[in-house]
Amino acid sequence: MQQGLTLVLCVDRDDDIGFKARIESPVTGRSACLKAANTLALADPEDSDVNAIFQAVQVYDELAAKGERVEIAVVSGNHLHMLEGDRRIAASIDRLVRETGASNCIVVTDGAEDEFVLPLVQSRVPVSGVRRVTVSQLPNLEGTYYLLKKFLNDPKVARLVLVPLGLLMLLYPIAYFLGQTGLALVIVIGAIGIYLLYRGLGVDEIFHGFGDALRTSLSRARFSFITYIAGILLVIISVVMGLMSILLYYAEVGFLIYLLIFVYGGVLWLTLAGIVASAGIVIDNFFHDRTSLGKVIVFPFFIGAIGLIAYGASIYAIAVSNVPDFPYSTANAIQYIFYGTIGGLICALAGMAIQHMVNRYLRGQEGPEIIELV
């Protein structure tokens, strides 16, 4: 018999119980979990999470019949944003372990996607078992049709698959009507490649986090909202300047040199955007959260250092590649990469020194800890 209290944990990573059944998680207790399963079944009888919850209840009943101390709970993530959902699951597990005092856990899932959160569970409570629920059904053509229909009706799938696919299909007729039929296929393939990199490198999560920060700064009337908007405009300018540089120094030099020319034209504007945005974060922390000032005050200096080094390196790489009409010779380019590297290092060291002084000042402001002896 297992010692301590066993937590039977049903994981719903994509938050079907919240998105479809409007049930807040975590759900604890046998009766509450049964009610959640019934509500979800009425909202969507085809959802496999219904079976997972009933399986968790069955495991709970089996352990309780053996006389073991056992508790059951259902935790869910986020239907559209997996990163936020995983953080929500982690916080829910921390709360459950704290409230129940569970010494081990049995995880019940309905598929491989939910099992991605196993490391989150294992880092908080020992996992003594995993039960995956597989719904038995006849794999015929009709079943496949309804499965695809349900898959495509999911708003998360529609946003990630159908919208980009529709935009890509529109690119070809647009290019055709513009008389660029030879370029149409290149545009479509390039757009597919950009989208795959966008998803694969997690750029969408970065933009989502930036959007959350923008909404938070606006709702709290923070100065960083203004600097974020200014940073966005400067990023747009940097992209335009980079593309203009490619047009200005266009030659048969290869993709890598085109990329360096783009960096040369836009990196200073992009660096300025980063400095402006991070300066807003520093100012907000100075007025509203000085305890975190030491962590963020180094941001503008590091961004400036990276910009200087990238600018000098791009000039040197373009100059030695003998790009026609480029205004810098190899000798001048050596000076630029030298001064850019030295300037970047000095900027980074200055930021670290200022960070050290700010941290020392903040520690002095806290004052000595007073311990009362009774």
pLDDT at 113 over 70: no
- Asked whether residue 123 falls in the same domain as residue 231, the answer is no
User: What is the spatial distance between Cα 149 and Cα 138, in angstroms, rounded to a whole number?
Assistant: 17
Domain endpoint, select from 132, 160, 193: 132
If one counts the domains in the chain, the total is 2
Establish if 24 belongs to a structural domain.
Answer: yes
What does the pLDDT look like over 270-288, one tens digit per residue?
999 999 988 988 888 888 8
Tell whether omega for the bond before 155 is within 30 degrees of 0, i.e. cis: no
Establish if 157 belongs to a structural domain.
Answer: no
pLDDT of residue 151: 62
Mean pLDDT of the chain: 81
Domain endpoint, select from 67, 98, 132: 132
Establish if 179 belongs to a structural domain.
Answer: no
pLDDT of residue 349: 94
Other C-beta atoms closer than 10 Å to the C-beta of 10 total: 33
pLDDT at 213 over 60: yes
Domain around 352:
220-360
Establish if 89 belongs to a structural domain.
Answer: yes
Strand partners, 132: 109
pLDDT at 212 over 80: no
Indicate the pLDDT class of residue 289, thresholds 50, 70 and 90: confident
pLDDT of residue 35: 92
- Asked whether residue 234 falls in the same domain as residue 352, the answer is yes
pLDDT at 233 over 60: yes
What does the pLDDT look like over 154-210, one tens digit per residue?
666 666 677 777 777 777 777 777 776 666 666 667 677 777 777 676 666 766 666
Residue 150 CA: distances (Å) to CA of 47, 127, 132 = 10, 32, 21
What does the pLDDT look like over 242-267, one tens digit per residue?
888 888 887 767 778 888 888 888 99
Establish if 147 belongs to a structural domain.
Answer: no
Establish if 341 belongs to a structural domain.
Answer: yes
Interior CA angle at 196 toward 264 and 17, to 5°? Answer: 130
pLDDT of residue 311: 92
- Asked whether residue 119 falls in the same domain as residue 234, the answer is no
pLDDT of residue 159: 67
Establish if 296 belongs to a structural domain.
Answer: yes
User: What is the spatial distance between Cα 292 and Cα 94, in angstroms, rounded to a whole number?
Assistant: 25
pLDDT at 7 over 80: yes
Establish if 369 belongs to a structural domain.
Answer: no
What does the pLDDT look like over 52-91, one tens digit per residue?
899 999 999 999 998 889 999 999 888 777 778 888 888 9
- Asked whether residue 234 falls in the same domain as residue 344, the answer is yes
Domain endpoint, select from 109, 132, 155: 132
pLDDT of residue 203: 64
